[in-house]
Chain A
Amino acid sequence: MLTYPIIGKIEATQTREGMPEFRVGDTVRVHYRIVEGEKERVQVFQGVVLKRHRAGVRSTFTVRKVSFNVGVERVFLVHTPRIEKVEVVSRGVVRRARLFYLRGLAGKAARVRDAKD
């Protein structure tokens, strides 16, 4: 299917710079702007990157954390201006592209090996 180069030109204006390089298995802190009524504040979401969906402007990444014994996953758009910044907390060593197996594990078993170890 033919895609016009103009689309690429528009999408290039929608992408953002300054996103740190991170991979599946890394632990990241996502600083995300949240608008509550009139007020705007930054919420931090820290967890393991389960998945990176690389698709130009539509790229996303999924972060999973366990909060009060409940697994929470959030999907972020890579290029959304709502992300203030992403910090890489630690690098993980994994052998899969998608870490969905973590969903079935809990506690010590649900850890990802750190690259420093």
Chain B
Amino acid sequence: MNQNPGIIGKKIGMTQIFDDKGEVIRVTVVQGGCVVLGKRTLEKDKYSALILGLGERKEKSTKKPVLGFIKKAGQTPKRWIKEMRCSAEHAAKYEVGQKVALDGIFEAGQIVDAQGTSRGRGFTGVVRKWGFAGGVSSHGTHEYFRHGGSIGTNMTPGRTLPGLKMPGQYGNETVSMLNIRVAKLILEDDLVLIEGAVPGPDGGLVVIRGAVKKKNAGKKKA
């Protein structure tokens, strides 16, 4: 499990910047500025984590149990609340109510993972979902244009094999982009600029944390 330090952020959109060599880097802008709402501790909860909140929510549209939790932390209701597993040492650096500063977590050039919810496309056919070619549109084809073709044989094995690509729900699932680079941090607006794309629509929630498949959470050696 990725327990590297990270943030929850809002995807703002994509743009491009020039690096110091004058080359263009395509970046996704993610806005951080999340607040620590609570902690999980080894003594009480048998694991350590930070509970982070981001964005604004009206008090009247906040559920009562959540509102109670927010009030206890002395905060305003948040649009997103997420628990992030982390080491006890990392959790000890933060107080409840403290804003998570980006420069305390990321550095430019760091390798990170970004997780978001992809755009939902609903119930989708095989041509769009799996890139099937569909059928030929001539040679006597009758009502068989965007079908997936055969789904198996007859007697042997007498069933459709598991994992066969068929139509169904496409998108609206959690997608993780592993090993992508932080291009730049803009601290005054709490922005992280990440090279390349990040899953989800603009305005969506994104979880960014140090890369799980790199040493030292993807940071250059300190």
Contact = CB atoms under 8 A, between A and B. Distances in A.
A14 B20 CA distance: 12
Contacts of B189: 6, 9
B202 A77 contact: no
> How big is chain A's contact interface, by range?
10 to 19
B27 to A, nearest CB: 8
Contacts of A6: 12, 29, 31, 189, 191
B193 to A, nearest CB: 8
A6 to B, nearest CB: 5
Most chain B beta carbons < 10 A, residue from A3, A6, A33, A57:
A6
A113 to B, nearest CB: 35
Interface in B115-134: none
A42 to B, nearest CB: 13
A3 B13 contact: yes
A11 B202 CA distance: 17
Interface string A8-30: 01110010000000000000000
Contacts of A2: 202-203
> Could you tell me the dominant secondary structure of chain A's interface residues?
mixed
Nearest to A1: B202
Contacts of A33: 22
B159 to A, nearest CB: 45
B17 A14 contact: yes
Given A2-B203, A6-B189, A81 B15 contact: no
A79 B18 CA distance: 9
Interface residues of B, number: 17
Contacts of A3: 13, 202
Contact of A14 (B16, B29, B202): B16
Nearest to A57: B16
B186 interface: yes
Interface string B19-48: 001101000010100000000000000000
A45 B16 CA distance: 25
A109 B16 CA distance: 39
A4 B13 contact: yes
Contacts of A81: 18, 22
Contacts of A35: 21
A11 B203 contact: no
B16 A80 contact: no
Q: Top 9 A-B pairs ranked by shortest CB distance?
A: A82-B22, A81-B22, A4-B12, A7-B13, A7-B15, A6-B12, A14-B17, A80-B22, A11-B15
Given A3-B202, A4-B12, A6-B191, 9 more contacts: A3-B13, A6-B31, A6-B189, A7-B29, A10-B29, A10-B193, A14-B16, A14-B17, A80-B22
6 contacts: A2-B202, A7-B12, A10-B17, A14-B15, A33-B22, A57-B15
Interface of A: 1-4, 6-7, 9-11, 14, 33, 35, 57-58, 77, 79-82
